[in-house]
Structure 1
Amino acid sequence: MALAGTLPAGSLLAQGAPRRIRGTIDALSGRDLALTTREGAKVTVRLAENAGVSAVRKMALADITPGTFIGTAAEPGPDGVWRALEVLVFPEAMRGTGEGHFAWDLTPSSSMTNATVDSAVQGNDGKSLTLTARGQQVQVMVPPEVPVVTLIPASMEDLRPGAQVFLSATPAADGTLNAARVTVAKDGVVPPM
């Protein structure tokens, strides 16, 4: 997505892979959500007929305990330990969602780990988490200032101009971007993903 503002729309969509979009709502007309991406590009995303809309609520770092299923975007630290940029505590009904450790586009060097917390050790510089996903262990340090959130229900009425959103959109053969779910800022809490 870092190239979104520099490439013509057709070349971006030709690849057919899902796109993570972070941006601000310009307008909602029917199911068409007009956005300005964080890179400055203007895009329109067609929301599914029954699109899910959620928001995020802040949680405390202390709420992350062994057995919790989380998603965390992180960057590699100089000591080989991943440093969290954000943490999403999944609701129990979403346990297992996207489980694994993979590249993520929050920053150029970030990864995403969706995994179960095996151990959580509080230290002076944050909380050290040992995560397990599909048999792979990942160490992540969560500094105290990192946003920790969970998903909460929201509605189409929350998709107002000026609200910040995060979504994954898939291009159709005709180039139309389609999304089945959108996460929107609410009560001052912006999706940090």
Structure 2
Amino acid sequence: MTRITTFAVAGLLALTGAASAAPQLERVRGTIDSADANSVTITTNEGKSETVQIGGAKFVWVQKSSLDNIKDGVFIGTATKGENPMTALEVVIFPDSMRGTGEGHYAWDAITDHTAAGGAKVKSAMTNGTVKSEPSAGPKVKSAMTNGTVARSSGASGEKMLTVTYDKEGSKQIAVPPQAPIVAFEPADKAILKPGSKIFAVVAKDGDKLDGKMLAVGKDGLTPPM
């Protein structure tokens, strides 16, 4: 009986160890150094060299977009700072073929804050979900009326308020300031892996091996902001 129990415990520990060693998803940001049929080598923003296997990866261009393209029913991902409401640090518009990718609200990396002077890195959270636009609303104040001839100018804030829904029940209110980079994913293939291009890679890390899950390359010199 003792021998059977010992073997059973040993087997359980082995399974537990295998489970704990499951690959972890990480993000790699940097510049493409080289690429071949099986892998891409990236010089990271921290100056390290990382080689990512690309056999099972999805590839997307990251191209400039605008607030005007964030409409009801569009699926987006947005890294945010703060609370009540959260403020978008960037917004990615997904094509319909990628709807549902990473859906939910969860912790994210420290990324560059393009909405504030200095561009320091800040702690962020990620929300991926479907957009419902909300009109910007401010407090009611005492007012006066002036009738006259108009000279057009931009608004003082220009931010857009969004409700992003996810996982059927969850939702977040997010303010998108005009300084926040707005980009869109465009499905592509591994031909986009050109040396010198900026890249954002989602990888599964298993020991020293990095398996690419999604490789997003900036189009026309763009640096992926996420």
Q: TM-score range by the shorter chain?
A: 0.7 to 0.9
Residue correspondence of structure 1 range 136-155 to structure 2 within 5 A: 136-155=170-189
2:64 is aligned to 58
Once the two structures are TM-superposed, the CA of residue 32 in structure 1 deviates from its matched residue by 2.1
2:24–2:206 Cα contact (<8 Å) kept: no
TM-score (norm 1): 0.82
> Comparing both structures, which one devotes a greater share of its residues to strand?
1
Inter-partner Cα distance in structure 1 for 2:176 and 2:39: 37
Aligned to 1:179: 212
Residue in structure 2 matching 1:111, options 125, 129, 137: 125
2: distance between equivalents of 1:128 and 1:27?
41
Q: Supply the distance in 2 between the matched residues of 1:37 and 1:117 (Cα, whole angstroms).
A: 32
The partner residue of 1:42 within 39, 46, 49 is: 49
Q: 2:73 aligns with which of 63, 67, 70?
A: 67
**Structure 2 residue 98 is the aligned partner of structure 1 residue 94:** yes
Larger radius of gyration: 2
Q: Is the 8 A contact 1:46 1:177 kept in 2?
A: yes
Aligned pairs, how many?
176
Structure 2 CA distance for aligned equivalents of residues 187 and 120 of structure 1: 32
1:146 match: secondary structure:
coil
Q: Identity of aligned pairs, percent?
A: 41
Aligned to 1:121: 135
Letter in 1 for 2:26: R
List runs of 5+ in structure 2 lacking aligned partners: 1-20, 112-121, 138-154
TM-superposed CA distance for 1:106, in Å, is: 4.0
Deviation string, structure 1 residues 15-58 (Cα, Å, up to 9, x no partner): 8311111111111133121111112221111111x532211222
1:8 — aligned with what?
Answer: none
Larger helix percent: 2
Q: CA deviation at 1:157?
A: 2.6
Give me the whole-angstrom Cα distance separating, in 1, the residues matched to 2:205 and 2:164: 33
2:63/2:218 contact within 8 Å kept: no
SS in 2 for 1:187: helix
TM-score of the aligned structures, taking structure 2 as reference length: 0.71
Q: In the alignment, is the contact (CA less than 8 A) between 2:32 and 2:195 conserved in 1?
A: yes
Unmatched 5+ residue regions in structure 1?
Answer: 1-13
* Secondary structure in structure 1 of the residue aligned to 2:89: strand
Amino acid of the residue matched to residue 106 of structure 2? F
- Separation (CA, whole Å) in 2 of partners of 1:151 and 1:179: 17
State the alpha-carbon separation in 2 of the partners of residues 113 and 154 from structure 1: 24
Query: 1:73–1:106: 8 Å Cα contact kept in structure 2?
Result: no
Kindly tell me: are residues 153 and 69 of structure 1, through their superposed partners in 2, closer, same or farther at Cα, counting changes over 3 Å? closer
Judged with a 3 Å threshold, the aligned counterparts in structure 2 of structure 1 residues 115 and 140 are, in CA distance, closer, same or farther, namely same
4+ residue segments displaced more than 3 Å: none
1:130 aligns with 2:130: no
Judge conservation of contact 1:100–1:115 (CA < 8 Å) in 2.
yes
In structure 2, how many angstroms separate the alpha carbons of the residues matched to 1:131 and 1:52?
A: 25
1:167 corresponds in structure 2 to 201
